[in-house]
Structure 1
Amino acid sequence: MSEVELVAAALAAGASAGLTDTARGAVLDLYTSLREAVRRRLDRDRVAGARVLDAPDADPAVWRRRLVGVLTDSGVEQDVAVLALARALLEKVPGDGRITVYAEGSRGVQVGDGNTQHNAF
C-alpha cells in the first residue's frame, strides 16, 4: 500500500468508524486531526478538489478513487505528520484491518491473499 493509499484508507476507515460507538472517542479525535491536516495540506498547495473530503459519494469506491487522485496531486506522501496520523488512526479503528468488498454482479472476483484463480466463462 502506497502512502497515498494509506491516507485514503485511514480517512475512509475513520469516516465509517465514526458511525459506530466502538472506540468512538480516540478514533474520532484521530480522524478529525487527520482530516484537518489533510485539509490544510490541500489548501496550502492550492489543490483543486479539497471539497472531496466533504463529499463522499454514495459509492465509496468512486469517492476513494477521487480522494486518491486529490491526495496524489497534493504530494501528501511527503507529509510526515499526515502519515503518522493515518497510521495511528488505522491502528485504532476496530476490526481486523480487512476491507469489505462490494462485488454484486461481478464475475471472476478474487479476494484474499495468496489465492489462485482459474476462470472459464
Structure 2
Amino acid sequence: MTEVDIVVAALAAGASAGLMETASAAVRDAYDALRVAVRRRLSARGEEVLDAEQVEPAVWEARLREELIASGADRDQELLATAENFRALVRSEGKNQVDARGAKGVQVGDHATQTNTFN
C-alpha cells in the first residue's frame, strides 16, 4: 500500500456513515483533522474532490488518489502521520468491545487463558 493509498483508505473509512455514527469523539476529531490536512494539501490545486457528492465510491477514490499524487501528498509527512493516526484509532476503536448480555464466563483481551466450570 502506497502512502497515498493509506490516505485514501483512511478517508474512505471515515466517510462510512456507520463509522461516524458510532465512533468516539477521538475518532471523529482525528477524521476531521485528516480532512483538514487533505483540504490544505489540495487547496493549491483548487480541487473540490474531497466534497464530491453523488459519485460512486470507486470513482471518488480514483479521482482523489490522482489529485493527491499530483499534489505531492506522498511527501507530506504531516498529512501521512494524520492519516496513520486516524487509521490506528479506527483499528483500536473496535477492539475488545463485547456485548456480554446474558453471557457466562466471558473473557476479553489478548493472550489470556480461562477455565470455566458451570453447575
TM-score, length-normalised on structure 2?
A: 0.69
Find out whether 1:4 has 2:1 as its counterpart. Answer: no
For 2:4, what is the secondary structure of its paired residue?
helix
How far did 1:14 drift? Answer: 1.3
Q: Which runs of 5+ in 1 are unaligned?
A: 97-121
The higher radius of gyration belongs to 2
For 1:47, what is the secondary structure of its paired residue?
coil
The whole-number CA distance in structure 2 between the counterparts of 1:68 and 1:75 is 11
Aligned with 1:53 (options 50, 53, 67):
50
Aligned with 1:82 (options 68, 79, 101):
79
Native 8 Å contact 1:57 1:63 kept in 2: no
The residue identity in structure 2 corresponding to 1:47 is R
Aligned with 2:88 (options 87, 91, 97):
91
Q: Which runs of 5+ in 2 are unaligned?
A: 96-119
The whole-number CA distance in structure 2 between the counterparts of 1:63 and 1:13 is 13
The whole-number CA distance in structure 2 between the counterparts of 1:3 and 1:91 is 15
How far did 1:91 drift? Answer: 1.1
How far did 1:64 drift? Answer: 0.5
Aligned to 1:117: none
Q: After superposition, what is the alpha-carbon deviation per residue over 1:42-89, rounded to whole angstroms, capped at 9, x for unaligned?
A: 11xx2142x110114442111101110110111001111110110111
Aligned to 2:36: 36
What's the Cα RMSD here? 1.7
How far did 1:95 drift? Answer: 5.5
For 2:7, what is the secondary structure of its paired residue?
helix
- Identity rate of aligned residues, in percent? 48
Q: Of Structure 1 and Structure 2, which has the larger fraction of its residues in helix?
A: 2
